[in-house]
Amino acid sequence: MLSFTVDTNGNTQDVKIVSSTPDPKDPGLGDVALDIQDHCIKAAQQYRFKPALFQGKPVPVELRVKIDFQRN
């Protein structure tokens, strides 16, 4: 789960990990978890949105997004 702000230009700012599975503290999976988190943050930094409007003017908003990884 990621948290970030969409600024008035529709760009993501302040991307943070809210929760993660596996947990980086899990023995044997810590490196994998950190690698997954890094990829999630990099992906979210590339997101572009249509800015939110309040009374016709763009405003920043905070969003939470869940990213699921699946094995094929």
pLDDT in tens, 8-49: 999 999 999 999 877 777 777 778 888 889 999 999 999 999
Q: What is the pLDDT of residue 72?
A: 66
pLDDT at 67 over 70: yes
Compute how many other C-beta atoms are within 10 angstroms of the C-beta atom of residue 13: 12
Strand order in the sheet with 12-17: 12-17, 2-6, 61-65
Q: What is the pLDDT of residue 44?
A: 95
Helix (H) or strand (E) holding 37: helix 30-45
pTM: 0.82
Domain boundaries, the chain: 2-65
